[in-house]
Amino acid sequence: MSHVDPPIPLERTGWGLPEHSDDQRLVVEGTGLEALPNLCAATEARGASGMLPSIEEKILAKFQFDSGWDCMVAERMVYGLEDAQTLMVPQNMGNCVGDSHDCLIASRISHEVLALGEAEEPLGRGMLGIPFIPYSYGVGRMVGNMLGPGDGSYCSAQIKGTMQYGFLPCFTPGLEEYSGTLPQASTNVGRLFGKSKREIMKWADKAQQFDLEEAPKVQTADEAYDLIANKQIPLQICSGQGFKYDRFDEKYGVHLYKMSGRWSHSMQLPTAFTIKGQQFTVIRNQWGINQHKGSPEIGIPGGCMVITIEDFAKWLRKAQCVGIGAIKGLESNPGA
């Protein structure tokens, strides 16, 4: 019997504002990205720091495909996750932009930690390695002039907000006083940060700086594949496109998804790989590990969706996609 995903929780989308159409969202997002001082062409991105050969060999040994790169392997090594796990905090509201962004911060930092040759957690163990999501979500809405009732944000505003106000590690004293489980806390807490500048600014002097030196903008599927597979840069993508399970492809041994429906949503692209000459990308969604099949036969955990590079190219035509590139202040190991 073919796999069927659980019902789609559309209330947990949240890219853009409710009064904007998807076409308007694309314009707002594109304009915001172009205004980022660190935006660069994908071809100009320097790529992630090199790793010691011994560490890279451990990562490559986990791959179950012919070539490519899977950022989730480094995450597991640094944050102490099992092979079937991935950085995943199921959204409890329409905070997809903040949630996906914080997962990518944790992903990016995990790579840099391993590049320094120190396989230990920089922010916390398990999901506590992800920054405090309400604060990140709030600063994005604040710099984008979106504070107030309702949910939603833009990726460009999120990047600008995090660069200006930093992020809060979950070990920051006082965060445990909020209701709910960190790193997300309760829906009430998320919406409090989504509307209150006072609440956000209470924490601004405790935030860690996130100096993103380059945010490569993706304009083609080839650029996306190169950034992930060759430069080891994970991507954030925002669009109105939804997906559904398609089939298990016997030739390539992967579970495939296809475009279907409408989600005004932000998601992550942590993995790109090739099997038998066919290229694929992996979408990591923030709706929980049981929401999507993944492709466990090749080490892609639940909560993820595998699509062909051809479908990604079609998707990208009506999406905005940007990478979390070089980070200032984290130097690579000179022996790498």
pLDDT tens per residue, range 141-187:
999 999 999 999 999 999 999 999 999 999 999 999 999 999 999 99
Antiparallel, parallel or unpaired: β 235-249 and 319-323: antiparallel
pLDDT at 329 over 60: no
CA distances from 214 to 26, 28, 327 (A): 21, 20, 8
For residue 242, give the CATH number of its domain: 3.90.70.10
Range of the domain at 207: 12-39+47-323
Q: What's the CA gap between 284 and 93, in Å, rounded? A: 17
**Which amino acid is residue 125, in one-letter code?**
R
82-102 pLDDT, tens digit per residue, is 999 999 999 999 999 999 999
Least confident span in 42-46, 105-109, 123-127:
123-127
Q: Is there a contact between 247 and 308 (Cβ–Cβ < 8 Å)?
A: no
Residue for token pair 């100096």: 211
Task: Give a yes or no: residue 124 inside a domain.
Answer: yes
> What is d(CA 217, CA 220) in angstroms, rounded to the nearest whole number?
9
Task: Evaluate whether residue 336 is within a structural domain.
Answer: no
Tally the domains of the chain. 1
Spatial contact of 315 and 239, defined as CB atoms under 8 Å apart: yes
Question: Considering the domain boundaries, does residue 6 fall inside one?
Answer: no
176 lies in some domain: yes
- The pLDDT assigned to 332 comes to 35
Q: Are 45 and 224 in contact (CB under 8 A)?
A: no
Q: Does some domain include residue 1?
A: no
Q: How many residues does the structure list for the chain?
A: 336
| pLDDT band at residue 122 under the 50/70/90 scheme | low
282: nearest Cα among 132, 81, 73, 102: 73
Strands of the chain, DSSP E = 39-41, 67-70, 215-217, 235-249, 254-275, 278-284, 304-308, 319-323
| pLDDT for 121 | 47
For 19, other C-beta atoms within 10 Å of its C-beta total 8
Residue 165 lies in a domain: yes
- In this structure, is residue 295 part of a structural domain? yes
Whether pLDDT at 116 is above 80: no
Q: Name residue, tokens 């062909």.
A: 308
Tell whether 2 is covered by a domain: no
69 within 8 A of 48, measured Cβ to Cβ: no
pTM for the model stands at 0.94
CA pair distance 145, 128, nearest whole angstrom: 29
